[in-house]
A = this chain, B = another copy of it.
Protein backbone atom coordinates (compact mmCIF):
# COMPACT_ATOMS: atom_id res chain seq x y z
CA UNK A 1 0.00 0.00 0.00
CA UNK A 2 1.22 3.47 -0.86
CA UNK A 3 1.74 5.65 2.21
CA UNK A 4 -0.96 8.26 2.66
CA UNK A 5 0.13 11.88 2.25
CA UNK A 6 -0.67 14.65 4.69
CA UNK A 7 0.25 18.28 5.22
CA UNK A 8 -0.95 18.47 8.80
CA UNK A 9 1.28 16.55 11.21
CA UNK A 10 4.84 15.33 10.79
CA UNK A 11 5.56 12.84 13.59
CA UNK A 12 8.65 10.73 14.21
CA UNK A 13 10.44 9.19 17.20
CA UNK A 14 12.15 12.52 17.98
CA UNK A 15 9.64 15.14 16.87
CA UNK A 16 5.97 16.01 16.40
CA UNK A 17 5.24 19.08 14.30
CA UNK A 18 1.84 20.55 13.43
CA UNK A 19 2.02 22.49 10.17
CA UNK A 20 5.71 22.98 10.82
CA UNK A 21 5.41 24.06 14.47
CA UNK A 22 7.09 21.97 17.16
CA UNK A 23 4.26 20.59 19.30
CA UNK A 24 6.36 21.09 22.45
CA UNK A 25 6.62 24.81 21.73
CA UNK A 26 2.88 24.93 21.13
CA UNK A 27 2.22 23.12 24.41
CA UNK A 28 4.35 25.64 26.28
CA UNK A 29 3.10 28.82 24.67
CA UNK A 30 -0.16 28.45 22.77
CA UNK A 31 -3.79 27.94 23.63
CA UNK A 32 -5.93 25.04 22.41
CA UNK A 33 -7.81 27.58 20.31
CA UNK A 34 -4.55 28.62 18.64
CA UNK A 35 -3.98 24.98 17.73
CA UNK A 36 -7.51 24.59 16.35
CA UNK A 37 -6.93 27.62 14.13
CA UNK A 38 -3.50 26.33 13.05
CA UNK A 39 -4.83 22.86 12.23
CA UNK A 40 -7.43 24.30 9.83
CA UNK A 41 -5.63 27.39 8.53
CA UNK A 42 -1.88 26.69 8.27
CA UNK A 43 -0.96 29.63 10.52
CA UNK A 44 -1.49 30.77 14.10
CA UNK A 45 -4.24 33.36 14.75
CA UNK A 46 -3.84 37.00 15.71
CA UNK A 47 -5.16 38.04 19.12
CA UNK A 48 -8.39 39.29 17.54
CA UNK A 49 -8.82 36.09 15.53
CA UNK A 50 -8.26 33.96 18.63
CA UNK A 51 -10.85 36.00 20.56
CA UNK A 52 -13.42 35.37 17.81
CA UNK A 53 -12.73 31.63 17.54
CA UNK A 54 -12.95 31.32 21.34
CA UNK A 55 -16.34 33.04 21.26
CA UNK A 56 -17.62 30.75 18.48
CA UNK A 57 -16.48 27.60 20.27
CA UNK A 58 -17.92 28.73 23.61
CA UNK A 59 -21.21 29.68 21.94
CA UNK A 60 -21.47 26.23 20.33
CA UNK A 61 -20.49 24.03 23.26
CA UNK A 62 -23.75 23.41 25.07
CA UNK A 63 -27.28 24.72 24.79
CA UNK A 64 -28.96 22.40 27.28
CA UNK A 65 -29.20 18.68 28.00
CA UNK A 66 -32.38 18.32 25.89
CA UNK A 67 -30.83 19.26 22.56
CA UNK A 68 -30.68 16.29 20.16
CA UNK A 69 -26.90 15.93 20.41
CA UNK A 70 -26.90 15.93 24.22
CA UNK A 71 -29.94 13.64 24.42
CA UNK A 72 -28.41 11.06 22.06
CA UNK A 73 -25.12 11.14 23.97
CA UNK A 74 -26.98 10.54 27.23
CA UNK A 75 -29.01 7.68 25.73
CA UNK A 76 -25.77 6.00 24.63
CA UNK A 77 -24.13 6.67 28.00
CA UNK A 78 -27.17 5.19 29.70
CA UNK A 79 -27.46 2.02 27.61
CA UNK A 80 -23.92 1.26 26.48
CA UNK A 81 -22.02 1.95 29.72
CA UNK A 82 -18.85 0.44 28.25
CA UNK A 83 -17.17 3.27 26.41
CA UNK A 84 -17.46 7.05 26.74
CA UNK A 85 -16.32 7.23 23.12
CA UNK A 86 -19.56 5.56 22.05
CA UNK A 87 -21.61 8.19 23.89
CA UNK A 88 -19.67 11.16 22.48
CA UNK A 89 -19.91 9.70 18.98
CA UNK A 90 -23.68 9.20 19.27
CA UNK A 91 -24.00 12.87 20.14
CA UNK A 92 -21.81 13.97 17.24
CA UNK A 93 -23.94 11.90 14.84
CA UNK A 94 -27.04 14.03 15.47
CA UNK A 95 -25.19 17.06 14.08
CA UNK A 96 -25.89 17.86 10.45
CA UNK A 97 -28.11 19.86 8.17
CA UNK A 98 -30.79 20.46 10.80
CA UNK A 99 -28.71 20.66 14.00
CA UNK A 100 -25.49 22.64 14.12
CA UNK A 101 -24.60 22.05 10.51
CA UNK A 102 -26.29 25.10 9.02
CA UNK A 103 -22.96 26.91 9.20
CA UNK A 104 -21.63 24.95 6.24
CA UNK A 105 -24.70 25.66 4.08
CA UNK A 106 -24.69 29.31 5.15
CA UNK A 107 -21.01 29.68 4.19
CA UNK A 108 -21.86 28.30 0.75
CA UNK A 109 -24.75 30.76 0.53
CA UNK A 110 -22.54 33.71 1.50
CA UNK A 111 -19.83 32.71 -0.96
CA UNK A 112 -22.40 32.30 -3.75
CA UNK A 113 -24.07 35.62 -2.93
CA UNK A 114 -20.80 37.57 -2.91
CA UNK A 115 -19.71 35.90 -6.14
CA UNK A 116 -23.02 36.95 -7.68
CA UNK A 117 -22.58 40.52 -6.43
CA UNK A 118 -19.22 40.66 -8.22
CA UNK A 119 -20.35 38.84 -11.35
CA UNK A 120 -23.52 40.84 -11.84
CA UNK A 121 -21.92 44.09 -10.63
CA UNK A 122 -24.64 44.67 -8.07
CA UNK A 123 -24.37 45.79 -4.47
CA UNK A 124 -24.27 43.33 -1.59
CA UNK A 125 -27.72 44.55 -0.50
CA UNK A 126 -29.10 43.97 -3.99
CA UNK A 127 -27.60 40.47 -4.19
CA UNK A 128 -29.04 39.64 -0.76
CA UNK A 129 -32.45 40.92 -1.81
CA UNK A 130 -32.49 38.74 -4.92
CA UNK A 131 -31.51 35.66 -2.92
CA UNK A 132 -34.32 36.30 -0.44
CA UNK A 133 -36.83 36.81 -3.24
CA UNK A 134 -35.78 33.55 -4.84
CA UNK A 135 -35.96 31.64 -1.55
CA UNK A 136 -39.41 33.13 -0.95
CA UNK A 137 -40.61 32.07 -4.39
CA UNK A 138 -39.18 28.57 -3.92
CA UNK A 139 -40.49 28.40 -0.34
CA UNK A 140 -37.09 27.37 1.01
CA UNK A 141 -35.54 28.47 4.27
CA UNK A 142 -32.18 30.24 4.35
CA UNK A 143 -29.57 28.28 6.35
CA UNK A 144 -28.25 30.19 9.36
CA UNK A 145 -31.48 32.06 10.09
CA UNK A 146 -34.10 31.32 12.78
CA UNK A 147 -33.95 29.38 16.05
CA UNK A 148 -36.48 27.21 17.87
CA UNK A 149 -35.92 28.97 21.21
CA UNK A 150 -34.47 32.36 20.31
CA UNK A 151 -37.24 33.41 17.92
CA UNK A 152 -36.70 37.14 18.25
CA UNK A 153 -32.94 37.41 18.44
CA UNK A 154 -30.11 35.05 19.30
CA UNK A 155 -28.09 37.11 21.80
CA UNK A 156 -24.89 35.25 20.92
CA UNK A 157 -24.96 36.77 17.43
CA UNK A 158 -24.57 40.34 18.65
CA UNK A 159 -21.62 39.39 20.84
CA UNK A 160 -19.86 37.68 17.94
CA UNK A 161 -20.31 40.58 15.53
CA UNK A 162 -19.23 43.07 18.21
CA UNK A 163 -16.03 41.10 18.82
CA UNK A 164 -15.38 41.00 15.06
CA UNK A 165 -15.86 44.77 14.83
CA UNK A 166 -13.61 45.45 17.83
CA UNK A 167 -10.90 43.30 16.28
CA UNK A 168 -11.15 44.93 12.86
CA UNK A 169 -12.26 41.63 11.35
CA UNK A 170 -15.63 42.62 9.87
CA UNK A 171 -15.56 41.72 6.18
CA UNK A 172 -17.94 41.03 3.33
CA UNK A 173 -19.14 37.80 4.96
CA UNK A 174 -20.61 39.66 7.92
CA UNK A 175 -21.88 42.44 5.64
CA UNK A 176 -23.67 39.93 3.44
CA UNK A 177 -25.17 38.05 6.39
CA UNK A 178 -26.56 41.32 7.79
CA UNK A 179 -27.89 42.25 4.34
CA UNK A 180 -29.71 38.92 4.18
CA UNK A 181 -31.21 39.53 7.63
CA UNK A 182 -32.42 42.98 6.56
CA UNK A 183 -33.84 41.66 3.28
CA UNK A 184 -35.70 38.90 5.12
CA UNK A 185 -37.18 41.49 7.48
CA UNK A 186 -38.24 43.80 4.64
CA UNK A 187 -39.46 41.22 2.13
CA UNK A 188 -40.70 38.27 4.21
CA UNK A 189 -40.72 38.64 7.97
CA UNK A 190 -38.13 39.14 10.72
CA UNK A 191 -36.08 35.93 10.98
CA UNK A 192 -32.91 36.73 12.88
CA UNK A 193 -29.47 35.29 12.20
CA UNK A 194 -28.72 32.39 14.50
CA UNK A 195 -25.33 31.33 15.85
CA UNK A 196 -24.71 29.03 12.87
CA UNK A 197 -25.20 31.99 10.55
CA UNK A 198 -23.01 34.29 12.62
CA UNK A 199 -20.32 31.62 12.70
CA UNK A 200 -20.60 31.23 8.93
CA UNK A 201 -20.18 34.95 8.33
CA UNK A 202 -17.14 35.20 10.61
CA UNK A 203 -15.46 32.06 9.25
CA UNK A 204 -15.94 33.34 5.70
CA UNK A 205 -14.18 36.56 6.69
CA UNK A 206 -11.36 34.57 8.30
CA UNK A 207 -10.76 32.82 4.96
CA UNK A 208 -11.86 29.33 6.00
CA UNK A 209 -13.70 26.89 3.67
CA UNK A 210 -17.43 26.05 4.15
CA UNK A 211 -16.93 22.64 5.77
CA UNK A 212 -15.29 24.42 8.72
CA UNK A 213 -18.74 25.85 9.45
CA UNK A 214 -19.87 22.37 10.50
CA UNK A 215 -16.51 21.20 11.87
CA UNK A 216 -16.02 24.10 14.29
CA UNK A 217 -19.49 23.55 15.71
CA UNK A 218 -18.63 19.88 16.27
CA UNK A 219 -15.35 20.77 18.03
CA UNK A 220 -17.18 23.14 20.35
CA UNK A 221 -20.11 20.83 20.97
CA UNK A 222 -17.89 17.86 21.87
CA UNK A 223 -16.75 19.81 24.95
CA UNK A 224 -20.39 20.07 26.02
CA UNK A 225 -21.17 16.46 25.15
CA UNK A 226 -18.26 15.37 27.31
CA UNK A 227 -19.70 17.13 30.36
CA UNK A 228 -23.20 15.77 29.63
CA UNK A 229 -21.85 12.21 29.38
CA UNK A 230 -19.86 12.61 32.59
CA UNK A 231 -22.98 13.85 34.39
CA UNK A 232 -25.06 10.96 33.05
CA UNK A 233 -22.45 8.44 34.28
CA UNK A 234 -22.04 10.01 37.70
CA UNK A 235 -25.56 11.20 38.57
CA UNK A 236 -27.94 8.73 36.90
CA UNK A 237 -28.65 5.03 37.00
CA UNK A 238 -28.04 3.02 33.82
CA UNK A 239 -30.99 2.51 31.44
CA UNK A 240 -33.12 5.13 33.20
CA UNK A 241 -34.42 6.50 29.91
CA UNK A 242 -37.47 5.37 27.95
CA UNK A 243 -39.33 7.62 25.57
CA UNK A 244 -43.15 7.39 25.69
CA UNK A 245 -44.62 6.08 22.43
CA UNK A 246 -48.11 5.61 21.00
CA UNK A 247 -48.77 3.07 18.27
CA UNK A 248 -50.95 4.19 15.38
CA UNK A 249 -50.24 1.48 12.82
CA UNK A 250 -52.25 -1.47 11.52
CA UNK A 251 -54.23 -3.36 14.20
CA UNK A 252 -53.50 -6.86 15.43
CA UNK A 253 -53.71 -9.44 12.65
CA UNK A 254 -56.20 -12.15 13.43
CA UNK A 255 -54.58 -14.91 11.43
CA UNK A 256 -50.87 -14.31 11.72
CA UNK A 257 -50.61 -13.47 8.02
Chain A interface (Cβ < 8 Å from any Cβ of B):
1, 3-14, 16-33, 35-36, 39-40, 42, 44, 53-55, 57-59, 61-69, 71-72, 74-76, 78-90, 92-101, 104, 148-152, 155-156, 159-160, 163, 209, 211-212, 214-216, 218-220, 222-224, 226-231, 233-235, 238-239, 241-253, 256-257
A147 vs chain B, min Cβ distance (A): 10
- CB of A250 within 8 A of CB of B7, answer yes
Instruction: Report which residue of A27, A61, A66 has the largest number of chain B beta carbons within 10 angstroms of its beta carbon.
Output: A27
Pairs A–B under 8 Å by Cβ, sample size 19: A4-B66, A6-B245, A9-B64, A11-B149, A27-B160, A35-B58, A42-B250, A71-B75, A71-B243, A79-B100, A80-B101, A81-B97, A82-B85, A84-B104, A85-B95, A85-B101, A89-B92, A99-B239, A215-B229
B4 pairs with A74, CB closer than 8 A: yes
Q: Which residues of B contact A17 (CB under 8 A)?
A: 252
Known: A7-B248, A26-B58. 19 other contacts (CB 8 A): A4-B243, A6-B248, A7-B247, A8-B249, A18-B62, A19-B250, A20-B253, A21-B256, A22-B253, A23-B156, A28-B163, A30-B58, A78-B94, A78-B98, A80-B98, A81-B96, A88-B92, A89-B93, A98-B238
Nearest residue (CB) in B for A37 is B223
Across the interface, which residues of B come within 8 angstroms of A247, CB to CB? 5-7, 9-10
Smallest distance from the beta carbon of A45 to chain B beta carbons, Å?
Answer: 12
Most central of A29, A84, A85, A155 by chain B CB within 10 Å:
A85
